[in-house]
Amino acid sequence: MRLEIGNFYVKDVVFGDSTKFSDGILTINKKEAIDFVRADEHITDMDIDIAHPGEDVRIVPIKEAVEPRVRVDGKAVFPGITGDLRRAGEGKLHALKGCSVMGVGMHWGSFGDGLVDMSGEGAKYSYYSQLINICLVIDTDEEFERYEQQKKNHAIRWACHKFAEYLAKTVKELEPEETEVFELDGITKRDENISKLPSVVLVMQPQSQMEELGYNDFLYGWDMNHYLPSFMNPNEVLDGAIIGGSFMPCSSKWSTYDLQNFPTIKELYKEHGKTINFLGVIMSNLNVSLEQKERASIFVANMARSLGADGAIVTEEGYGNPDADYVRCICALEEVGVKVVGISNECTGRDGKSQPLVVMDENTTALVSTGNVSELIELPPAAKVIGELESLARDGLSGGWAGDEILGPSVRKDGSIIMENNAMFCGDQIAGWSLKTMREF
């Protein structure tokens, strides 16, 4: 399968008379864009704002981020979401690089929502401070979940996917500045020199724990709570087959932007044919009961062994209950002779002294930590807030609170905040581009 992604590098995003891309500038006709998004009858109010790196801007509550892309063949960028089902992983895409379409609650937040600071001390905690974020600030009529801590955020999330495709149509007929090519031959059809290299598979565990449908990640438009582990070409992930969900403490999430650009996949591609034979992706899941967790680990281990994997990278979207799936999967692979490196965050408490994963095992001998979800972060007021700052304290965002006996409320009267790293939007970057490191004292 051969996937070509033609990249257009966005230097700035501005509002203007027409929606177009020229000389690195993405111009948006704001009225037309709002009319396009508000075609969804469930969106009752909205605005569009643009946040640039280095601006004294705080964005919260963030629900989703998507890279603007369009397929040259005119098919849906996100099969089963923005259009009909199609086979993902091949063909030509055009992408607007350096920006995201970001879904933001106009008022109401939820457990899986997060925060980004575009400058200052807070900017270092999230990759999204480095992007130009086109913020769809939206209120909806989804009253059934307005005061719920867990929200599906369906209208806002779907608006992001559709609007990202809308913007990218500006470059559909243009010649890209750069083209990335992702291609893997069939496992049994590879060059002898490649086949001799150590074979590696990536095991991804997207969020799929919520038994009520609509909260989880979606694969080909299919709620992943109904999913069992299967083998996939990595191009399918990069080509929009999977989108992010709305259930998970936010620093642990994979946004759709993360999945479209999954850095661990790209790094494995770079080493393919040089130091490793990259077999592909075993797309697994995260479960509720122990029996489900064990079943998934059996699927993954047997699949990896049948593929002839010498090694595996296992990465989970989340922590806590998902740690049981993560550790059990690692152990099952090790038991059949597949050497594993795990990538996840950890939850060591505000003092850093608690057990990092809910479940530990002596077979977990090579783990990469992307940070402590419970780390306390204190940040000064921002000159501008996109969304509603009070949602961090009021609406049950993981990492925020209305009041604490010692620390007081997350949102102070002067606009400064104190919160756990949990609330940083996709802040732990378990997808593979975390800038965090570990220091020993």
**For the chain (length 441 residues), average pLDDT per consecutive 10?**
97 98 98 98 98 98 98 98 97 98 97 97 96 98 92 97 98 98 97 97 97 96 96 98 94 97 98 98 96 97 98 96 96 98 95 91 93 96 98 95 96 97 95 76 64
pLDDT of residue 278: 98
In the chain, where are the structural domains located?
2-423
pLDDT of residue 441: 64
pLDDT of residue 434: 76
Distance CA 148, CA 16 (A): 38
Amino acid, single-letter form, for residue 382: A
Beta-ladder partners of 202? 281, 313
Number of H helices and number of E strands within the chain?
9, 24
pLDDT of residue 132: 98
Which tens digits make up the pLDDT trace of 370-427? 999 999 999 999 999 999 999 999 999 999 999 999 999 999 999 999 999 999 999 9
Longest dimension (CA), the chain: 66
pLDDT of residue 433: 82
**3-class DSSP assignment, residue 291:** helix
State the first-to-last Cα distance of the chain, in angstroms, to the nearest integer: 48
pLDDT of residue 42: 97
**3-class DSSP assignment, residue 87:** coil
Strand pairing report for 132-140 and 99-105? parallel
| CA 69 vs CA 19, 94, 240, 392: distances in Å | 15, 6, 9, 31
Which run of H or of E encompasses 316?
A: strand 311-316
| CA 215 vs CA 138, 153, 287: distances in Å | 18, 8, 14
- Which of 402, 390, 381, 392 has the alpha carbon at shortest distance from 422? 392
